[in-house]
Structure 1
Amino acid sequence: MASTHPQPSSPDAYSIVDLFAGPGGLDVAAEVLGVRTTGVEWDAGACATRRKAGLITVEGDVRTSRPADFPEANVLTGGPPCQTFTVAGSGSGRRALDAVLAFVRRVVDRDKAANIDTDLEKLKDVRTGLVLEPLRWALDVIDAPELSPYEVIVLEQVPSVLPVWEAYAEALRDEGYDATCGILRAEEFGVPQTRRRAVLVARRNGRAQLPMPTHQPYRRGTSPTLGNPALLPWVAMAEVLPQRSAPFEVISNYGTGGDPKARGRRHSSQPSATVTGKISRNRVVAEDGTELPRFSLAEAGLLQSFPAAYPWSGTDMAQQIGNAVPPRLALHVLSTALGWGPPSQATLERLATWRPGKGSRAG
């Protein structure tokens, strides 16, 4: 059972090590909360963005770093690559998921790392094994007498990874954590985009909780004000893209409803569909059908809830944006996970008005 000793309440009492940190969606949220964070990221383009943003960054593979390299960190966060875990298509994703769950059991049973790594190399896609790294880090600090267990663990990924997080949660409970996991919808936290994420929260001391929604869920054909009157309306694209003064419609590059020819459509009075690295392929048209400029990188960042001043840099910036954790969602998850409840309006405004060098820590 988890200890009931109180956790640190001051932001200065926490220090995060963020694995697979990407361009900084979670890290900028942490900085806005006043929590020091160090991100580990292998992609050079994402690292270029992070450095422009003033975020402390270790460029490299998380497998070549270990918890002992970050002895001050008492919070572990991360979002491992997800490409191999889709359950759609031929069933290869399902088989990969079964394999990962078997590897999770081996990690929990403290099978030798060399044995596990040898078997991971036999998998069709080597990225599959990366989802094990946060659990390895969490158990490594528990097993190392010179290190202290992480006070808080926060992990996120696509919904199909939820069974992995459930296995993580069970393992962490056996190690003295309170742990919970579930699916969160980004638009229910004020992100102008529909995006579902599997999130795990574990706390060494105290109760682990997922954040409660602050906004209405998006439902096709419904009003943003219908539903629970205690919740705010979901945020539309038009509200965060003021430079597009006239109504518009976005026509997806992807099919919908199982029909590849039936392109999904969203009006500017609705949240965006999930932002991906292919967002520039989506057409944007006026209500009379006139073709309009497609979304810029800056606009894609705004739909992900990044601050307008976020300094996208390096290579493949569209993919960086599409892969990132929406900072506003991260703000809610972190604030709740650290025991502070929902972020205040002032904190949300700090995120929206954040600028490089202001509210960030260079390193």
Structure 2
Amino acid sequence: MSTYDTVDLFAGPGGLDMGATAAGLRPVGIERDANAVATRVAAGLATVHDDVRRYGPADFLDAETLLGGPPCQTFTVAGTGAGRRALDSVVGLLHRMARRESIAEELAGLDDVRTGLVLEPMRWALEAIDAGRPYRAIVLEQVQQVQQVWVAYAEVLRAEGYSVATGVLRSEQFGVPQTRRRAVLVARLDGVAVLPAPTHRPYRAGVPQDAGDARLLPWVSIGQALPHRGPFEVISNYGTGGDPKNRGRRTSAQPAATVTGKIRRNRIVDSAGCELPRFTNGEAGQLQGFPADYPWSGCDIGQQIGNAVAVPLGAALVRAAISEPASAPALEVAA
């Protein structure tokens, strides 16, 4: 397939693709879920509706940038935990891949097949290297529990000639109106890889929005992202020990808590505690940095939104990967 300079694995509804487009690239995304594909098609994003394991670099010969946000369900705290339990095994399989050993049998033996998908970007990267057409830039994003895997990725990619920066970034520091920590990796063949510099201040409970580093913009509140709503309070769908009193609360003057696939379960109340309409799909998407009129389609839209890469963070990562080569030391972030 030609005409695309970027390929996005596990492309979802288009967060990284929109970020890549904003950075001036022409991405094509591979996505298996029919609902996410319906959204992508409605949004006019180039899409291959299939399993990424059925493809490789040879199918996208013009692509010089590789993007990927593998499924997070087995790694996230809210998920099954199978991926977290298998982290050491996954890292071991990664190093076997670097030695060009077959790991097919071990992948088939994992408790949850989705866990092994975090290794797919490395397969693509190594196949491109072995074919003599290495990707010029690689950008990966996942829940912060996967940082251990990205550190192992960095070791392998450096041995293959890449400069790599990896760490955990706070999404609100890139203008996303929610607190969402993500493990990220930026690799490049030309120059020194660095993570994107924050543009906004970090959110800390009790610290005023206008306080902090004057060189950075204030973090963005829910109310600023959704000004038509007026003042309100969000009562999280998450509780502690089943006690509703322990559920998290954020006002519209704060950033949202991490947006998940269950965002529709969040209650919204006014200052008197009266129930207000819950977030629409469009509003939930805005909390991930998507346009208000993004054409969410198909079923399970909440899950699409929760799994998406926040658009401003995606754009910042892609720009960091393809910008003019940097000369400063690679930035390692652990937050």
1:319 and 1:87 map into 2 onto residues whose CA distance is 16
Structural mapping, 1:79-94, within 5 Å: 79-86=69-76, 92-94=82-84
Superposition deviation, residue 89 in structure 1:
9.7
Superposition deviation, residue 222 in structure 1:
1.1
| Contact map agreement 1:20 1:78 (CA 8 A) in 2 | yes
Structural mapping, 1:200-219, within 5 Å: 200-219=185-204
Could you say which residue in structure 1 is the equivalent of 2:9? Answer: 19
Could you say which residue in structure 2 is the equivalent of 1:299? Answer: 283
1:254 and 1:72 map into 2 onto residues whose CA distance is 44
2:242 and 2:181 map into 1 onto residues whose CA distance is 21
Could you say which residue in structure 1 is the equivalent of 2:176? Answer: 191
Q: Is 1:117 aligned with 2:101? A: no
Tell me which of 178, 187, 199 is aligned to 2:163: 178
Could you say which residue in structure 1 is the equivalent of 2:304? Answer: 320
Q: Is 1:149 aligned with 2:139? A: no
| Contact map agreement 1:76 1:152 (CA 8 A) in 2 | yes
What secondary structure sits across from 2:236 in the alignment? Answer: strand
Tell me which of 44, 63, 66 is aligned to 2:34: 44
Could you say which residue in structure 2 is the equivalent of 1:126? Answer: 113
TM-score normalized with structure 1 length: 0.85
1:337 and 1:33 map into 2 onto residues whose CA distance is 10
Structural mapping, 1:1-363, within 5 Å: 15-86=5-76, 92-112=82-102, 116-145=103-132, 148-245=133-230, 247-255=231-239, 261=244, 262-339=246-323
| Contact map agreement 1:216 1:225 (CA 8 A) in 2 | no
Superposition deviation, residue 88 in structure 1:
8.3
1:296 and 1:77 map into 2 onto residues whose CA distance is 29
TM-score normalized with structure 2 length: 0.92
Superposition deviation, residue 90 in structure 1:
9.8
Superposition deviation, residue 314 in structure 1:
1.2
Superposition deviation, residue 221 in structure 1:
1.2
2:56 and 2:73 map into 1 onto residues whose CA distance is 24
What secondary structure sits across from 1:311 in the alignment? Answer: coil
1:81 and 1:325 map into 2 onto residues whose CA distance is 11
Distance 1:103 1:215, change over 3 A: same
User: Where do 4+ consecutive residues of structure 1 move more than 3 Å?
Assistant: 86-94, 258-261
| Contact map agreement 2:84 2:145 (CA 8 A) in 1 | no
Please tell me the residue identity of whatever aligns with 2:89.
A
Superposition deviation, residue 243 in structure 1:
1.7
1:193 and 1:136 map into 2 onto residues whose CA distance is 32
Please tell me the residue identity of whatever aligns with 2:217.
L
RMSD after superposition: 1.9
2:320 and 2:122 map into 1 onto residues whose CA distance is 21
> Deviations for 1:50-97, whole angstroms, at most 9, x for unmatched residues?
111111000100000111000000000101011222468997544311
Could you say which residue in structure 2 is the equivalent of 1:353? Answer: none
What secondary structure sits across from 2:296 in the alignment? Answer: coil
> Deviations for 1:105-145, whole angstroms, at most 9, x for unmatched residues?
11011102xxx112211111011110110001000011114
2:78 and 2:88 map into 1 onto residues whose CA distance is 14
> Deviations for 1:273-332, whole angstroms, at most 9, x for unmatched residues?
111110010100001111100111010011111011211111211110110001011111
| Contact map agreement 1:254 1:260 (CA 8 A) in 2 | no
5+ residue gaps, structure 1: 1-12, 342-363
5+ residue gaps, structure 2: 326-335
2:189 and 2:234 map into 1 onto residues whose CA distance is 44
Superposition deviation, residue 253 in structure 1:
1.0
Superposition deviation, residue 218 in structure 1:
0.7
| Contact map agreement 2:289 2:310 (CA 8 A) in 1 | yes
| Contact map agreement 1:241 1:299 (CA 8 A) in 2 | yes
Could you say which residue in structure 2 is the equivalent of 1:346? Answer: none
